Chain A
């Protein structure tokens, strides 16, 4: 099996990603396969038997085999989410994982943050994938940098579409594996973390100092006013660790491969793809989803239909995930009990990969392959990568050179170059190397303080907010998926077992959140990786901070719902004018096959102007039937069965409808909009199943319930009273959203409007039903091509991205910590339980925490976020992220571990809250005060230099810049140029965007492109990606004779100076001279010049790191065009805000 891979990391095998497949294939594997034929990767067969309700699983037996053991065969599989498509997906994986191979394939980027270069993959541009993929596959060995244990073979296997076939084929395909001679070798490289016991010990040193001066101040941060301590109840758990970026991820990758096995089943369906590049619309991947889903599903579908409608309203989701079982269910113990029946499906042989994950990295980094790793590393490294450094340091013991660097006092008035040469990375928590390796990736889970202060007093003294930023459903490249009869959890706080627990002995483990001692169930004693008993600490759950469990029926209140999508379309005159309908219909037709789902997938359509139109799409009709309901005061559903139809059965009708839809209303003169009643109808229509409602709205709703008045008065924008009407005008939308949330309906809003539409009120419908909001101001299909393009890209991504239904998320933290405020789109059901009707991979959450009891008796603080959801394939799954951070007692340590980006994002969220509850000017003052307080706290407590001026620790040196940038954001700026809707939308984005994206919006990355060289470039998949230095956002850095790229997250601006060299213009833009550059240039032509290739490689590389595609705008140095670019130079003076030096001066004056 995979084992071999492990041992020989360096060897060719290493590359293989798919552990499982290999395993199977390789010697032992095959035999097993035959033995356990039924077991799909998912181990579906067994499950089905057990739980009839779960339809989807059975699908494919495909790779089966992960389970090497006879007994445990099916269960384990690692899924990559993306796998849908055997071929394509797999290919992607390969490339991604291996980084080296195809740089562009998927955007792994997110995953491997810390070591971006090493592990990360860049995601790639779609088109190229195919080509690259193949190469990588074959060549893996060479590339396999980080020890992918599983040989490439895995990939080969995937190609075979039909599951059963695959099995057979695989073996043959995989000759290579031969290498892996003996499965036996599971060398466990490291099982580093495993047992926590030792860990705790090590850290202890920190605590001692402890309680020292307590500051009188009440608030940690200025915004914090409310930080009340939480009742004990909340705190239960937590264990997470800081992030080990790259490493962690790499480990996972290994698993992924194993997933391939699961591919057939494709749990994540097309949707999941999202994670990687695959999801992206543009990318070549589409094929993946298409094929995969249908094919895979078939198996599973059979049972499907029943699920949706039958069930009553689930009230108790909280219980499910939460810690308690619903009333009806057996007490917690039951889990173990149940195990028996399933016993046979244990964990299949996990690939050794787990262990190696971490280890491999270390080894790998240096140089196995020419391409792979070395490629990634910049040729000239300014300093060793974080991870390397940390390893070198050997963990806690020493210190912390990193810490020393982080604490270096920086005088802001003197140092002008504060930006690092490359994009800022999340700080590494000061943990032992083993813990670091297994810790959760900072992209999924990040804490504002990577060293948790011991007491609230210390936190207050530091004047920094304590909070978590979560991106739990992010598209992951690799993710261990575990099918097990027994999901091991703490009996008291219900924490899932994780790498940071302590094994007291073979049979007992101590929860790291509540410190209760629990028994290790029998099943857990079996280690699928080594296929031996008695090594619970080597189980994948204990080796990975991010894992996904396939949940049993204990975690269901009703059979998993099918994917259900309802589109609610505005067809009033205004909408027809804007012309979105045509583009939407085209996109939906194109992506119909890529909608995440299985054979049970249901769709429905509903249009409205002053009446509501339903569409009967019942199979068997010759054409869609429109049913008009004009009684909008008492809305009713004209037909119950035929409005939400099975996509597969009624595909032709749906296509017919979409084709004719744009024409049907082209002469509409109706200007009223009855959005409220339409939403009520949508609610009634979806109540039986739950699902996703997508609303397109183009104007202010004027009829029926929920009608609104225009509240914006442009003349008031500059009034001294501040900005009014940031809050909703009515509670109609909020109430409806809560109803929706209760029925597991998520509502996403696309607002395409040229006039004021009161987004503040409308957005409530999404905010509390865990939806997302998209806003396209001044959308018009011909007059505003930029918006149209953005709309198309967003909708495509939106339609194809992964989705989870009927989800709940619980965040647990170590005893003593409690959560007191939540940010994001969801409904907080109880103190630590978020109810998410839908969960999508693009939205993030944040929570603020307080320290209620001193953490002095523990050296680690842990956090665990568990997301329980139903995949689009009808599988109930639990994704668990665990983060572990050290607890410190010294103020300087707190500062050394401060994560300035996370702090900025959390402060932004707090400021938004403040502007809603109080006023905008209050919020702005609070932000400024945050900087002032930090400066004075640092000055009086830590820095012993008697310097005058503004001194901050190096870790926080960018804080004032970021605060200034926040103050200049649309959401928070003052002045007359910001329209109310745009402001409100910017606020919504602050609350829901993941950190990286948000930071790029707040403080864009600026690069100079015309003098890029290959120095320091990354080598990705045979392509050199130049790495220009980051520049400060100030006009003084921008030169007339240059070309500058500004990366604002959702858009790139390429600004061409007046005297930019003609060579650049010719080679990159394909224009003869500056004057001939067209006005609205929106793409970079593909020219065969060195310069062009460099620029495109760089752009692609940036692009791969995000899920929504960004467009490129070429701007000339002309008054009319350059505004968007110069507006974002946040260090310069603008309309109503000061420049950076002025701001510093202001801060200095404010300091006591």
Chain B
């Protein structure tokens, strides 16, 4: 995805328009890889058996980086003018609630299973997601509002937020992976 971003920012890098409009309108399919990955992971875990908590968390957490990744791609599409604000926001808003619910769920699981370290790791992010959702003004069409997204650098801050989340989720992913393997071995 880093590629994508690099490639499309800066219209001046595309001396000839064709590149621009050819891509225009075609929706990229960032999700295509997800199922496979998820499936693979799932199978692995089944094979291993092991701690329910770890597995569920692992499940949830693998999805996050991918979700965030697609978010970043969508945002960078908007930045480069490949999709319009309305399409972009409706796409992104769809994921706000699932993300929030998933995050809360995994936080709860950690709490229930008394994995304190991971619980505290998850808590701030879950809190932020809830806060962000609750704070949406009444008249806005969701966390991402097509009429606002180009104003006051919102696009930038959304992008920054997505980047940070991506880093965070990758970190979590490895932590979970580590603990899962550990759990499997211990079993």
Chain A residues engaging chain B, CB cutoff 8 angstroms: 225-228, 230-236, 315-316, 318-319, 322-327, 329, 331-332, 491-494, 514, 516, 727-731, 734-735, 738, 742, 760-761, 764, 767-768, 815, 820-822, 827-831, 833, 913, 917
Q: Are B21 and A327 in contact, with the CB atoms below 8 A?
A: yes
- Select which of B12, B17, B24, B79 is within 8 A of A316 by beta carbon: B24
Knowing A226-B153, A325-B21, A731-B139 touch, does A331 contact B11 (C-beta < 8 A)? Answer: no
Q: Are B12 and A815 in contact, with the CB atoms below 8 A?
A: yes
- B33 to chain A: which residues have CB within 8 Å? none
Q: Are A913 and B151 in contact, with the CB atoms below 8 A?
A: yes
Q: Are B24 and A324 in contact, with the CB atoms below 8 A?
A: yes
B85 within 8 A of A: yes
- B81 to chain A: which residues have CB within 8 Å? 233, 318, 322, 830-831, 833
Q: In the bound complex, what is the Cα–Cα distance between A322 and B81 (angstroms)?
A: 10
The 7 closest A-B pairs by CB, nearest first: A728-B139, A228-B153, A226-B152, A232-B10, A324-B21, A828-B150, A226-B153
Q: In the bound complex, what is the Cα–Cα distance between A821 and B151 (angstroms)?
A: 4
- A830 to chain B: which residues have CB within 8 Å? 78, 81, 84-85, 150
20 other contacts beyond A226-B152, A230-B153, A738-B86, with CB at 8 A cut-off?
A: A226-B153, A228-B153, A232-B12, A233-B79, A318-B81, A319-B21, A319-B24, A322-B81, A332-B17, A492-B15, A492-B17, A727-B138, A729-B138, A731-B141, A742-B86, A815-B12, A820-B153, A828-B147, A829-B84, A831-B150
Complex interface residues of chain B between 1 and 56 (CB less than 8 A to chain A): 8-12, 14-18, 20-22, 24-25
- A232 to chain B: which residues have CB within 8 Å? 9-12
Q: Are A768 and B147 in contact, with the CB atoms below 8 A?
A: yes
> Which interface residue of A230, A234, A235 has the most chain B CB atoms within 10 A?
A234
B80 within 8 A of A: yes
Chain B residues engaging chain A, CB cutoff 8 angstroms: 8-12, 14-18, 20-22, 24-25, 78-81, 84-86, 137-141, 146-147, 149-157
Q: Are A236 and B11 in contact, with the CB atoms below 8 A?
A: yes
Q: In the bound complex, what is the Cα–Cα distance between A111 and B185 (angstroms)?
A: 81
- A493 to chain B: which residues have CB within 8 Å? 11-12
- B15 to chain A: which residues have CB within 8 Å? 491-492, 516
Q: In the bound complex, what is the Cα–Cα distance between A318 and B25 (angstroms)?
A: 11
- A917 to chain B: which residues have CB within 8 Å? 152
Distance to closest chain B CB from A256 (angstroms):
34
Q: In the bound complex, what is the Cα–Cα distance between A166 and B168 (angstroms)?
A: 75
- A516 to chain B: which residues have CB within 8 Å? 15
Distance to closest chain A CB from B159 (angstroms):
9
Q: In the bound complex, what is the Cα–Cα distance between A315 and B83 (angstroms)?
A: 10
- A326 to chain B: which residues have CB within 8 Å? 21, 24
- Select which of B20, B139, B154 is within 8 A of A324 by beta carbon: B20
- Select which of B14, B25, B79 is within 8 A of A231 by beta carbon: B79
27 CB contacts below 8 A, A to B, read A233-B9, A233-B10, A315-B25, A316-B24, A323-B11, A324-B20, A324-B21, A324-B24, A327-B21, A327-B25, A331-B16, A331-B18, A491-B16, A492-B11, A492-B12, A493-B11, A727-B137, A730-B139, A734-B139, A760-B139, A820-B152, A821-B151, A822-B151, A828-B147, A829-B86, A830-B81, A831-B81
Knowing A226-B153, A327-B22, A822-B151 touch, does A318 contact B12 (C-beta < 8 A)? Answer: no
- B137 to chain A: which residues have CB within 8 Å? 727-728
- A318 to chain B: which residues have CB within 8 Å? 81, 84
Q: In the bound complex, what is the Cα–Cα distance between A331 and B9 (angstroms)?
A: 20
Q: A-B contact count, CB below 8 Å?
A: 140
Q: Are B21 and A491 in contact, with the CB atoms below 8 A?
A: no
Q: Are B150 and A738 in contact, with the CB atoms below 8 A?
A: no
Distance to closest chain A CB from B147 (angstroms):
6
Distance to closest chain A CB from B4 (angstroms):
14
Q: Are B17 and A491 in contact, with the CB atoms below 8 A?
A: yes
- A324 to chain B: which residues have CB within 8 Å? 17, 20-21, 24
- B84 to chain A: which residues have CB within 8 Å? 315, 318, 829-830
> Which interface residue of A232, A731, A734, A738 has the most chain B CB atoms within 10 A?
A731
- A225 to chain B: which residues have CB within 8 Å? 152
Q: In the bound complex, what is the Cα–Cα distance between A729 and B79 (angstroms)?
A: 29
Q: Are A738 and B139 in contact, with the CB atoms below 8 A?
A: no
Q: Which residue of A lies closest to B83 (CB)?
A: A830
Q: In the bound complex, what is the Cα–Cα distance between A226 and B148 (angstroms)?
A: 13
Q: Are A728 and B138 in contact, with the CB atoms below 8 A?
A: yes
Q: Which residue of B lies closest to A330 (CB)?
A: B18
Distance to closest chain A CB from B20 (angstroms):
4
- Select which of B24, B80, B85, B151 is within 8 A of A233 by beta carbon: B80
- B85 to chain A: which residues have CB within 8 Å? 827-830
- B152 to chain A: which residues have CB within 8 Å? 225-226, 820-821, 913, 917
Q: In the bound complex, what is the Cα–Cα distance between A232 and B24 (angstroms)?
A: 18
Distance to closest chain A CB from B186 (angstroms):
48
- B86 to chain A: which residues have CB within 8 Å? 738, 742, 827, 829
> Which interface residue of B9, B11, B21, B141 has the most chain A CB atoms within 10 A?
B11
Q: In the bound complex, what is the Cα–Cα distance between A492 and B79 (angstroms)?
A: 18
- B78 to chain A: which residues have CB within 8 Å? 830-831
Q: In the bound complex, what is the Cα–Cα distance between A327 and B8 (angstroms)?
A: 17
Q: In the bound complex, what is the Cα–Cα distance between A820 and B157 (angstroms)?
A: 12
- B154 to chain A: which residues have CB within 8 Å? 226
Q: In the bound complex, what is the Cα–Cα distance between A327 and B16 (angstroms)?
A: 14
Q: Are A735 and B141 in contact, with the CB atoms below 8 A?
A: yes
- A742 to chain B: which residues have CB within 8 Å? 86
Q: Which residue of A lies closest to B84 (CB)?
A: A829
- B11 to chain A: which residues have CB within 8 Å? 232-234, 236, 323, 492-493
Distance to closest chain B CB from A810 (angstroms):
11
Q: Which residue of A lies closest to B141 (CB)?
A: A731
Q: In the bound complex, what is the Cα–Cα distance between A833 and B12 (angstroms)?
A: 17
Q: Which residue of A lies closest to B87 (CB)?
A: A315
Q: Which residue of A lies closest to B150 (CB)?
A: A828
Q: In the bound complex, what is the Cα–Cα distance between A329 and B18 (angstroms)?
A: 10
Q: Which residue of A lies closest to B155 (CB)?
A: A831
Q: Which residue of A lies closest to B19 (CB)?
A: A324
- Select which of A331, A727, A827, A828 is within 8 A of B139 by beta carbon: A727
Q: Which residue of A lies closest to B88 (CB)?
A: A830
Q: Are B12 and A831 in contact, with the CB atoms below 8 A?
A: no
Distance to closest chain B CB from A741 (angstroms):
9
Q: Are B17 and A323 in contact, with the CB atoms below 8 A?
A: yes
Q: In the bound complex, what is the Cα–Cα distance between A1134 and B17 (angstroms)?
A: 58
> Which interface residue of A492, A516, A822 has the most chain B CB atoms within 10 A?
A492
Distance to closest chain A CB from B148 (angstroms):
9
- A815 to chain B: which residues have CB within 8 Å? 12
Distance to closest chain B CB from A904 (angstroms):
20
Q: Are B138 and A730 in contact, with the CB atoms below 8 A?
A: yes
- B151 to chain A: which residues have CB within 8 Å? 820-822, 828, 913
- A227 to chain B: which residues have CB within 8 Å? 153
Distance to closest chain A CB from B59 (angstroms):
34
Q: In the bound complex, what is the Cα–Cα distance between A493 and B8 (angstroms)?
A: 14
Q: Are A734 and B147 in contact, with the CB atoms below 8 A?
A: yes
Q: In the bound complex, what is the Cα–Cα distance between A729 and B24 (angstroms)?
A: 35
Q: In the bound complex, what is the Cα–Cα distance between A234 and B12 (angstroms)?
A: 9
- Select which of B12, B18, B146 is within 8 A of A827 by beta carbon: B146
- B9 to chain A: which residues have CB within 8 Å? 231-233
Q: Are A327 and B12 in contact, with the CB atoms below 8 A?
A: no
Distance to closest chain B CB from A827 (angstroms):
6
Q: Are B12 and A236 in contact, with the CB atoms below 8 A?
A: yes
Q: Are A822 and B141 in contact, with the CB atoms below 8 A?
A: no
Q: Which residue of A lies closest to B149 (CB)?
A: A828
- A727 to chain B: which residues have CB within 8 Å? 137-139
Distance to closest chain B CB from A936 (angstroms):
25
Distance to closest chain A CB from B76 (angstroms):
9
Q: In the bound complex, what is the Cα–Cα distance between A833 and B139 (angstroms)?
A: 23
Distance to closest chain A CB from B116 (angstroms):
37
Q: In the bound complex, what is the Cα–Cα distance between A820 and B138 (angstroms)?
A: 24
Q: Are A332 and B16 in contact, with the CB atoms below 8 A?
A: yes
Distance to closest chain A CB from B23 (angstroms):
9
Distance to closest chain B CB from A879 (angstroms):
22
Q: Are A822 and B24 in contact, with the CB atoms below 8 A?
A: no
Q: Which residue of A lies closest to B12 (CB)?
A: A514
